[in-house]
């Protein structure tokens, strides 16, 4: 078995050397990334620990075409924030819906007001800046895109000092999260947009949650698949 393993290593090294001799930089880069250890990434911001957090997904400036994406994004974020101990507890999305139903002037409430009414210490405010499942409704191709900005508000500080924003302090519009975009594809189902919405919500929730805790990432995209022709 050791002899077989040794031959495998020789083959890999031979491929790298052959690639180098042929000037195949991408081949070498792929091998380096493929066997590189995970990289540690520090949190962009770490909220105070042990707090109850409300994820408030809003689309007031750009109403989404598929309302359930807000539930999908909220519930996935709630789960990740609790699992990674960013929040001790989160407010269920149904509580937000109940407040919307019970209040005739919900959209006039401030973020702090909503957080107070739902018993939250912190509010993770997520504004959906753009949501689409097609670039052109007349096109047969589906291509999803989800863009969002986020900020964290301290409910009690907002009530006492009228300075609710904890983070980011230097960006009034919030922190711009890396957009989620799917590849163009043809699909016969008219409801395929719902599947795209769920996929994008899951990816966006992951990107937002990882802003707030240290984590590891695998090697670059090049390491996920070998170069063509290898």
Residues 6+ apart with CB under 8 A from 109: 103, 117
Residues 210, 127: Cα–Cα separation, whole Å: 17
Inter-axis angle of helices 192-209 and 68-83, nearest 10: 30
* pLDDT exceeds 60 at position 222: no
For 147-172, the pLDDT digits (tens) are 999 999 999 999 998 889 999 998 88
| Mode of pairing for the β-strands spanning 165-167 and 141-142 | unpaired
The string of pLDDT tens digits covering residues 111-124 is 999 999 999 999 99
How would residue 219 be classed by pLDDT, with cut points 50, 70 and 90?
low
Nearest to 103 by CA among 88, 89, 117, 85: 117
Place of tokens 């990674």: 84
């Amino acid at each position: 078995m050791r002899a077989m393993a040794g031959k495998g290593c020789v083959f890999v090294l031979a491929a790298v050397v052959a690639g180098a001799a042929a000037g195949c930089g991408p081949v070498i880069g792929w091998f380096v990334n493929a066997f590189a250890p995970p990289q540690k990434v520090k949190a962009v911001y770490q909220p105070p620990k042990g707090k109850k957090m409300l994820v408030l997904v809003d689309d007031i400036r750009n109403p989404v075409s598929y309302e359930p994406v807000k539930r999908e994004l909220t519930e996935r974020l709630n789960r990740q924030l609790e699992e990674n101990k960013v929040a001790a507890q989160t407010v269920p999305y149904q509580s937000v819906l109940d407040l919307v139903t019970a209040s005739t002037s919900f959209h006039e409430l401030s973020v702090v007001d909503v957080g107070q009414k739902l018993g939250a210490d912190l509010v993770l405010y997520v504004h959906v800046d753009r949501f689409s499942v097609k670039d052109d409704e007349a096109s047969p191709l589906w291509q999803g895109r989800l863009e969002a900005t986020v900020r964290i508000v301290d409910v009690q500080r907002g009530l006492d000092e009228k300075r609710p924003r904890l983070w980011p302090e230097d960006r009034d519009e919030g922190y711009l999260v890396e957009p989620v975009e799917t590849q163009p594809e043809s699909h016969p189902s008219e409801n395929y947009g719902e599947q795209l919405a769920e996929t994008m919500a899951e990816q966006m929730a992951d990107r937002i949650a990882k802003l707030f805790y240290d984590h590891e990432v695998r090697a670059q995209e090049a390491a996920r698949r070998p170069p063509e022709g290898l």
